Amino acid sequence: MSSDPVVDRIADAVLASPARLGAVRLVSVDGPSGSGKSTFARTLVASLRERGRRVGLVSTDDFATWDDPVSWWPRLAAVLDRLAEGRPGSYRAWDWTTGEPRPGATVHVPVPDVLVVEGVSSGRASVRPALTRLCWVEVPDRGQRLKRAVARDGERCRPMLAAWQRFEDGWFVVDGARDHADDVIRPRGGGWEAVATAE
């Protein structure tokens, strides 16, 4: 099992809960940029795989762009619809290696036991009825989040990241994902701290 008790507890809770996307347990890892969603999601996927489950991981970075933060959702929804029917899905991802999105590889998504979708808006209202669990990952301090995001993406992305922060502020107020989260998690000392959790 993973060395993080918060991650292992959430993995156990996912597997103890019913699938709501056909036979697939769908887990969202949502929250503001620069909070550690990708790292948490990878750790959760590893913990679930250690339990012998087939686990897929999809990032909203494969769909979103600076100019299109959230309206791309129908492309991912089409993949989720196929998985709900027990059929594999696929999508064309954006390639971000140059710092700007350009068409990338086709990503094939086999039907898993658990699918983890991580990224801003992954826990949006329209998908919540299909979620087995919604995890919200946050760093409360806005300036620290921006610093983390710039360290990850590069100084040239600072203006876009700052604009993204302004967008997601409004998005989260309207969408209310944090209020519906089963888990609210923060990075702490190389691991994770549970701020709130569903019983």
Question: What are the pLDDT digits (tens) for 33-79?
Answer: 999 999 999 999 999 999 999 999 999 999 999 999 999 999 999 99
Q: CA-CA distance, 37 to 118, in Å (whole number)?
A: 6
Listed by start position, the domains of the chain span 5-197
pLDDT over 70 at 1, yes or no:
no
**One-letter amino acid for residue 116 of the chain:** V
pLDDT over 60 at 101, yes or no:
yes
Is residue 28 within 8 Å of 117, Cβ to Cβ? yes
Output the pTM of the full model: 0.95
Residue 2 is predicted with a pLDDT of 61
Residue 116: which of 32, 191, 37, 16 has the closest Cα? 37
Q: Which residue has the tokens 């760093």?
A: 139
Is residue 127 within 8 Å of 116, Cβ to Cβ? no
Architecture of the domain whose range is 5-197: 3-Layer(aba) Sandwich (3.40)
Rounded to an integer, the average pLDDT of 134-155 is 94
pLDDT over 90 at 98, yes or no:
no
Spacing of C-alpha 28 from chain mean position = 5
Largest CA distance in the chain: 44
